[in-house]
Amino acid sequence: MKNQNAAFDPQWAWESYVPSDERPWTLKWVGHLYRRAAFGASWEQLRQAMEEGPARTVERLLNPSGNTDEFETSFDEYESAAANSDSTEGLRAWWLRRMIQTPDPLKEKMTLFWHNHFAIDCGKVKSGVLALQRLRLNREDALGNYAHLLQAIVHHPTTFLALNAEKNRKVLPNDNFAKKVLENYCLGPDMVSEQDIHETARAFTGWFLIRNECRFLDREHDHTNKRILGEEGDFDSQDVINIILRRPDAAQFIVRKLYRFFISEVEEPAHSFLEPLVRLFTADFNIKKVITVILKSNLFFSETAYRKRVKSPIEYALEIVRGFEANVSTTHLGNDLKALGQDLFHPPTVKGWLGGRHWINSAALIGRCNLAHALISNSAPYEKQLAFDTVFEKYKCKSDEESCQFILNLFLQDDLDETVRKQLYRSTADKKPSSWLQRFTIDVLTCPEFQIG
Amino acid sequence: MKFSRRQFLHTSAICSFGSLAPSFLQKTAFTAASKKVKTDRVLVVLQLSGGNDGLNTIVPYADDEYGRNRSTLRLQAPEVHKIDSYCGFHYEMKAMWEQFQDGHVSVIQSVGYPKSNRDHAGALRDWYTAYPHDENCETGWLGRSIEYANQVDHTDLPGVLVGNISMPLALNAERTIVPSIRRLDQMQFQQEPLSADIHKTDNALLDFVNQQTSIALEKSRKLTNITKDIHSSVEYPPFQLAKTLRTAAQLIRADIGVCIIYTALGGDGFGGFDNHASQRDNHAALLRQLSESVSAFINDLKHDRLLDRVLLTTVSEFGRTLKENGRRGTGHGAAAPMLAAGAQLKPGLIGQCPSLTDLDDGALKHQIDFRNVFAALLDQWLCIDSKEILGVSFDPIPLFQS
């Protein structure tokens, strides 16, 4: 309780966590870190992190050692091959596979963050090649420079296509496009006036999409003076983005989203509380610096953050797959995740997946549990894909008790209510022996504690 | 401190989006919070994909203009099930015509909208969003209705897609995940999760998932009981649509809170009703599937005394041209009738027959805007404030018995 109160002191909150007797480094926090900064972990990874402590583990997640280039290059090639169609189904499958196998999971997680932040429905783009280009922009700067990323995304053909702004004529500035860019990508809603929106639209005149490429036609650009967010001049679209980036609101908007993504969906932090991060971000828009502070912080390793997010369908499924160190058909998985509300490349609106409690309704919950069931029991369409027994052998579980405890450690870090624990053991006691460990595992993966993270 | 924390837990458990929603969401939340959505009523929307030929569905057999313009496709008086001395149902629609006689099917005439789109994608968009000609609208009219029910009444699972089609824009919602159900077992736990005793923890999010788990368990079990119950089954014809509607009837019977069901005949997107050539047999076959499936659905619900709670209506992106083309087919048109089924409908023909002489570029002009029909479905059937869904106020057409 003392720590929880202290969490509201921003200085303490953003200082690096150093394990102590009072706040020891336990498996609970290792699992927490891997849920947020990766898509779950194998037992080996959890064990290694237990030994190495928080500082080194966070460092390794931020800067993975070893040869990641080889992995990235080969997956870049697979993706390129899959992009040769109007549909994004192939790309979706390869991206999910990448998330499962990557030696650099934080980068993929942040790629997903930007994919959601710069949300568009790629159904409108009708080009796998362009969808892939956009994905790569998000990945290249996933932990890089936000100013660079924002300029690149806003000026990418996919943005103009998806937001119905293929022709930005001098006489027809597209206010709707400007509004969506300002409110969803840059500053958040209700931060700009109608005039700012209209003047921004004028600044974007001259951009035309010709054969899926952006062309700037100077004669169609409105060169007259514009007044945007208090600044005045003959601005073009890049100037507008620079003006926006000079506003602390722009950094605040992103930091707030990062807070939701890494710390908690439950509480909206106060302005002043985020101030240290906002100041840091405003300095040079280095995304990695901010995430480093977040992942190392006292706040991150506190009850304020622990189990304060509903897992997205992707997180839910991938934690199972990565826990079992398995590979499954990501074509099928992509379809199942779509049914659960998270169809990569097709968020419902330009606001992205709003997540949180919206991930859960009775149908979605049944779907998630049935997916876990299908993966663990190797039933359709995941026949012979997840070798259930392998991990128990690999980690030398010698008895039934050890196997049960292993599952509880791997997926819940043994942190569960005692009544739930009793129920878990009771429910498997009277089941037929052949598949009881599977039943036990499914019980663990479908319990409410595993739906949140 | 302690008190306010408790209070926070309490409110967030009740409010379905509570403090989890960023502040900007709450601004877009619906304002009419006082009105109660009728969750015991169900609206089934059946899309006739491809643009149904209304003139060969409700056939103006006695109109000379009809005969003159349809040299090969025209149906003669003996080929229709007569409504009156002017028009009647297509010969394959006997079952629906009989339901019409019993007052369980009504026909809404000449439905369309101003400057209607003649291409499939555009017209579908217009019907799906109910914001015609606004290409920036990202959500569907039923998606918004589902969200409304969700937010105003905290209803779990107000709407579903049933059948073998992909999720249409009509059901797209900003926040709510709308399930697509092909088989009922998708709505049933393959292995029931541990039924958590609902004891409060100090984590509101965990409490929420606990609560949702028991709701889901209850719904899953209700469906399991329904599917076990074999003797309630009324005979359904061997069509895919009939299978789908049977699933819909089971969802309704299971009483799991679903109040909006969407499905389609004629396939995904622009489908089977798009008959530019050799229309006659293909169209007849589809109308037979429609008529017999819907009729079986009505009988099934009637058998269980559920018909009072259900309203089915067809939608289609456009009708066809009056004049047939040189390939025994028809082109993309405009206005067409909507067919409605239920027990509380104003019986008979609603609205006027379309004029076959006052045309708009070869197509029938609409006399009823589809949004006036939607307003009746929303305001008077589901008790969802149609203005919140359609943006502006549309007068509901007189669709129901007073």
CB atoms within 10 A of CB B329: 21
Lowest mean pLDDT among A109-118, B62-71, B185-194, B227-236: B227-236
Rg (CA), chain A: 23
In this predicted model, what pLDDT tens digit does every residue of B305-319 receive, in sequence order? Answer: 999 999 999 999 999
pLDDT of amino acid B13: 32
CB A97 within 8 A of CB A71: no
Question: pLDDT at residue B86 above 70?
Answer: yes
CA distance B362 to B70: 13
Q: Judged by CB atoms within 8 Å, which residues 421-450 of A form the interface with B? A: 423-424, 427, 439, 442-443, 446-449
Residue recorded with tokens 């006399």: B367
- Give mean pLDDT, residues B85-103: 98
Per-residue pLDDT averaged across B27-48, rounded? Answer: 70
Is A163 in a helix, a strand, or coil? coil
**Is it the case that residue B5 has pLDDT exceeding 80?**
no
Whether residue A340 lies within 8 A of chain B, CB to CB, comes out as yes
Q: pLDDT digits over B155-209, tens only?
A: 888 999 999 889 999 999 999 999 999 999 999 999 999 876 667 888 999 999 9
Put simply, whether A238 touches B (Cβ < 8 Å) is: no
Question: What are the residues whose beta carbons fall under 8 Å from the beta carbon of B208, sequence distance 6 or more?
Answer: A357, A360, B12, B13
Q: How many CA atoms within 13 Å lie on the side-chain side of B289?
A: 21
Test mutation, A161, A180, A362, A447, chain B, max B CBs within 10 A: A362
pLDDT band at B14 (very low <50, low <70, confident <90, very high): very low
Q: What is the pLDDT of residue A61?
A: 98
Ranges of H-type helices in A174-228: 175-180, 194-203
Average pLDDT, chain B: 89
User: What is the C-alpha separation between B191 and A448, in angstroms, rounded?
Assistant: 14
The yes-or-no verdict on residue A167 having pLDDT over 70 is yes
Residue B3's pLDDT is 33
Reference A336, options A392, A379, A280, A287; nearest CA is A379
The pLDDT score that the predictor gives to residue B234 is: 87
B17, B196, B210 member nearest A357 (Cβ): B17
pLDDT for position B368: 98
CA distances in angstroms from B10 to B19, B56, B212, B324, B395, listed in the order given = 11, 58, 16, 64, 40
Cβ separation B186–A447 shorter than 8 A: no
Q: Which chain A residue lies closest to B15 (C-alpha atoms)? A: A357
SS (H, E, C) A17-33: CCCCCCCCCCHHHHHHH
**A38-to-A27, A46, A104, B10 alpha-carbon distances in Å:** 16, 12, 8, 32
pLDDT tens per residue across span A63-89 = 998 889 999 999 999 999 999 888 999
pLDDT recorded at residue B26: 37
Chain A CB contacts of B19 below 8 Å: 266-268
- Residue B19 pLDDT greater than 50, yes or no: no
Residues of B in contact with A267 (CB under 8 A): 19
- Determine the average pLDDT of the residues in B275-292: 96
**pLDDT for position B267:** 80
Whether residue B254 lies within 8 A of chain A, CB to CB, comes out as: no
Residue B28 scores a pLDDT above 80: no
Q: If you search the block for the tokens 């007044």, which residue do you land on?
A: A227
3-state secondary structure (DSSP) of residue A314: helix
Instruction: Give the pLDDT confidence of A207-236 residue by residue, as tens digits.
Output: 999 999 999 999 999 999 999 999 999 999
Residue in B closest to A176 by C-alpha: B136
Determine contact, residues B326/B73, Cβ cutoff 8 Å.
no
Q: What is the pLDDT of residue B77?
A: 96
Q: How far, rounded to the nearest angstrom, does the alpha carbon of residue B163 sit from its chain's CA centroid? A: 13
State chain A's mean pLDDT as an integer: 95
Kindly determine whether residue B156 and residue A190, on different chains, have CB atoms separated by under 8 Å. Answer: no
Q: What angle do CA B98, B102, B103 make, to 5 degrees?
A: 115
3-state secondary structure chain B: CHHHHHHHHHHHHHCCCHHHCCHHHHHHCCCCCCCCCCCCCEEEEEEECCCCCHHHCEECCCCHHHHHHCCCCCCCHHHCEECCCCCEECCCCHHHHHHHHCCCEEEEEEEECCCCCCCHHHHHHHHHHCCCCCCCCCCCHHHHHHHHHHHHHCCCCCEEEECCCCCCHHHCCCCCCCCEECCHHHHCCCCCCCCCCCCCCCCHHHHHHHHHHHHHHHHHHHHHHHHHCCCCCCCCCCCHHHHHHHHHHHHHHHCCCCCEEEEEECCCCCCCCCCCCCHHHHHHHHHHHHHHHHHHHHHHHHHCCCHHHEEEEEECCCCECCCCCCCCCCCECCCEEEEEEECCECCEEECCCCCCCCEECCEECCCEEHHHHHHHHHHHHHCCCHHHHHCCCCCCCCCECC
Helix, strand or coil for residue A200?
helix
Confidence band, pLDDT 50/70/90 cuts, at residue A7: low
Confidence of residue B238 (pLDDT cuts 50, 70, 90): very high
Could you identify the residue written with the tokens 């004629």?
B266
Q: How many CB atoms lie within 10 A of CB A140?
A: 15
Q: Which pLDDT score is estimated for A417?
A: 87
Distances (CA, A) of A327 to A110, A312, A332, A386: 22, 19, 12, 7
Measure the CA dihedral B35/B41/B46/B52, to 10°.
-70
Cis amide leading into A381 (omega within 30) = yes
Q: Which of A24-28, A89-93, A425-429, B304-308 has the lowest mean pLDDT?
A: A425-429
Is the confidence at residue B142, as pLDDT, over 70? yes
Candidates B153, B190, B223: best to mutate against A (most CBs of A within 10 A) is: B190
Residue B155 has a pLDDT of 80
Report the half-sphere exposure of A249 (CA within 13 A, side-chain side): 17
CA neighbor of B179 nearest in space, from A271, A435, A336: A336
Quote the minimal CA–CA distance from B274 to chain A in Å: 23
In this prediction, residues B359-377 reach a mean pLDDT of 97
Residue B180 with chain A: CB contacts under 8 Å: 339
* Interior angle at CA A246, CA A241 and CA A249, nearest 5: 95
- A189 to chain B: nearest residue by CA? B24
The yes-or-no verdict on residue B33 having pLDDT over 90 is: no
The pLDDT of residue A431: 58
Q: Does A354 touch chain B (CB under 8 A)?
A: yes
Distances (CA, A) of B361 to A355, B337, B365: 47, 19, 9
List the end-to-end C-alpha distance of chain B, in Å, as a whole number. 55
Give B32's pLDDT tier (boundaries 50, 70, 90).
very low
pLDDT of residue B201: 85
Is A265–B205 a contact, with Cβ atoms under 8 angstroms apart?
A: yes
* pLDDT of B11 higher than 60: no
In chain A, which residues have their Cβ closer than 8 Å to the Cβ of B212?
360-362, 365
Closest CA to A309 of B177, B217, B204: B204
| CB atoms B20 and A448 under 8 Å | no
| Cβ–Cβ contact B190 with A under 8 A | yes
Which B-chain residues 10-49 have CB contacts (< 8 A) with chain A? 12, 16-25, 27
Q: Supply the pLDDT for residue A66.
A: 82
Cross-chain Cβ contact A164/B191 below 8 Å = no
CB atoms within 10 A of CB A273: 19
Among chain B residues, CA nearest to A120? B138
Asked if A362 and B204 come within 8 Å (Cβ–Cβ), the reply is no
What are A227's two structure tokens?
A: 């007044």
As a whole number, mean pLDDT of residues A29-38 equals 98
Find the mean pLDDT for residues B108-135.
97
The residue of A357, A408, A428, A446 whose CB has the most chain B CBs within 10 angstroms, and thus the best one to mutate to test that interface, is A357
Using DSSP, state whether A227 is helix, strand or coil. Answer: strand
pLDDT attached to residue B198:
64
Which chain B residue is nearest to residue A417, measuring alpha carbons?
B201
Does residue B38 register a pLDDT over 70? no
> Which two three-digit tokens encode residue B83?
């409504």
DSSP label at A354? -
- Contact of A132 with A91, CB cutoff 8 Å: yes
Q: What is the pLDDT of residue A9?
A: 87
Residue B358 has pLDDT above 90, yes or no: yes
Tokens standing for B218?
């209850």
- Residue B9: what pLDDT? 32
Q: What would the DSSP string read from start to end of A98-125?
A: HHHH-S-HHHHHHHHHHHHHT---GGGT
What is this model's ipTM?
A: 0.94
pLDDT tier at B402, thresholds 50, 70, 90: confident
Phi, psi of B58 (to 5 degrees): -105, 100
Please report the pLDDT score of residue A86 as a whole number. Answer: 86
Q: Report pLDDT digits (tens) over B303-357.
A: 999 999 999 999 999 999 999 999 999 999 999 999 999 999 999 999 999 999 9
**B 212-251 residues with CB < 8 A to A:** 212-213, 215-216, 219-220
The tens digit of pLDDT for each residue in A400-412 reads 899 999 999 999 9
Q: Which of B396, B397, B389, B394 is nearest to B146 (CA)?
A: B389
